[in-house]
Amino acid sequence: MALKVGDTAPDVSGLLSDGTPFRLSDHRGATVILFFYPKDFTPGCTAEVCSFRDAYGEIAAGAKAKVFGVSRDDPASHRKFRETHHLPYELVTDDGSMSKAFGATWLGGLLPVSRRMTFVVDGQGVVRGFFHHEVLDIDQHVAGVKQVLGTLA
C-alpha cells in the first residue's frame, strides 16, 4: 500500500547516476519530489522524465524543491538517460527497497519495476502530495506537484 498524504516518509537510500550514495534524510529542510517510474528509455517514462525536465526551473527555483527520479535501472543506464534527455535533476537507482518503502511496487515487489508514483515530501519529512497514473495522464504528476508546492509556499 502506497504512502498517503500526512504519512512520514521513510528514510530511504539508493545510488545516484554517478554512483554516489543518495539518502532522503540528507535533504531534510528542503522539499523533495520523488517520482518513481518503471524503466529508462521507455516511451511513457521518457515522457515523464521530460515533463519534469521541462518544469524543473519552475519547480526547483520557485519552490526551492529538489527533484529525484527513481527506478530499478542501474547508475550507468541512469547516466545515459540523463545525458540523452538533458535532465537537470538526478536519477536514483533503487534496489527495490525504496519502492517497497513507499508502496510503489507491483505485486509486493515481485516484479522488478516501480509503479509510476510521485511523492512531494516537505522539509520535515512529511508526505504533502501523492500522484499515481500508470499510463494515462502522466503529465498530471507535474501539474499536481506544482499545485502542492503552491500550498507549501
Q: What is the pLDDT of residues 34-49, one digit of tens each?
A: 999 999 999 888 999 9
The ranges assigned to domains in the chain are 29-152
Question: 44 and 138 in contact (C-beta within 8 Å)?
Answer: yes
In 3D, which of 146, 90, 152, 91 has the Cα closest to residue 122? Answer: 152
Tell which CATH classification among 1.10.10.10, 3.40.30.10, 2.60.40.1930, 3.40.50.300 matches the domain 29-152. Answer: 3.40.30.10
- Which pLDDT score is estimated for 52? 94
Q: Of 28-42, 72-86, 136-150, give the lowest mean pLDDT range.
A: 136-150
Catalytic site positions:
45
Quick one: cell of 12?
530511504
